[in-house]
Amino acid sequence: RGMEWFGPGVLLLLLLELSRVVGGGENMEANLRHASLCVVGVLYVAGPLSFAVALRGMPEGVRYILLACSIVWIGDTAAFYIGSRLGRRPLAPRLSPKKSVEGSVAGLVASMLASWMGTRALGMPVPFLSSLLLGAVIGGAGQLGDLVESGIKRAFHVKDTGDLIPGHGGMLDRLDSLLFALPVFYLWVRMEWI
């Protein structure tokens, strides 16, 4: 129900930013660059998160969102703890030097287990191998989202996207994995694979 507001909301933001550019005075190029970044930022965050709204609107919506978040966050947690303790080989040194292959593998395994246990706990009749595959795909999408966010932060020379959560950064630092995982999970549901 909330997705019908996404398009008009982005259009309104675009129009407001463009009006700032036109009426912005001398430095029109800098204003246009700022407006572009603002619109892209909204699309980058709100677009993927709108899939949570679409999932919530489905009959099993609450369970879908719980499962997707569990798969991603349990995988993230395992990747962090195993990677920080046992990680030796860098996963993507140019994007995020602290992420390791060992952490990534541990995260995928944890996501697969979270998917299997989550489908059982939520009463979803998903076969064992299908639940493991779901965990691997959603966990992998989450890791990709985390790497993309690391690349964006590196491009802007910042460590975190904010300081809302002490020691963890901003809200986007907590949600970056979901930005890639939620659209994939939504497609998985729409294809009736769960």
pLDDT band for 96, please (50, 70, 90 cuts).
confident
> Alpha carbon 153 to chain centroid distance?
14
The residue-averaged pLDDT of 30-53 equals 82
In this prediction, residues 9-18 reach a mean pLDDT of: 72
Q: Would you say residue 149 has pLDDT above 90?
A: no
Average pLDDT over residues 99-118: 97
Task: Provide the pLDDT confidence category of residue 180 given band limits of 50, 70 and 90.
Answer: very high
For 32-71, letters b (16+ CB in 10 Å) and e give beebeeebeebebbeebebbbbbbeeeeeeebbbebbbbb
- DSSP lists the bridge partners of residue 96 as 92
* Mean pLDDT on 107-132: 97
- Could you report the per-residue pLDDT of 63-87, keeping only the tens digit for each? 999 999 999 999 999 999 999 999 9
- The Cα–Cα gap between 120 and 150 comes to 33
Q: Global pTM? A: 0.83
Confidence of residue 38 (pLDDT cuts 50, 70, 90): confident
Mean pLDDT of 13-32: 69
Considering the chain, what percentage of its residues have pLDDT values greater than 70?
86
Are 31 and 21 in contact, with CB atoms under 8 Å apart? yes
Question: Quick check: helix, strand or coil at residue 186?
Answer: helix
CA distance linking residue 87 with residue 140, whole number of Å: 18
For the chain, the straight-line distance linking the first and the last C-alpha, in angstroms and rounded, comes to: 22
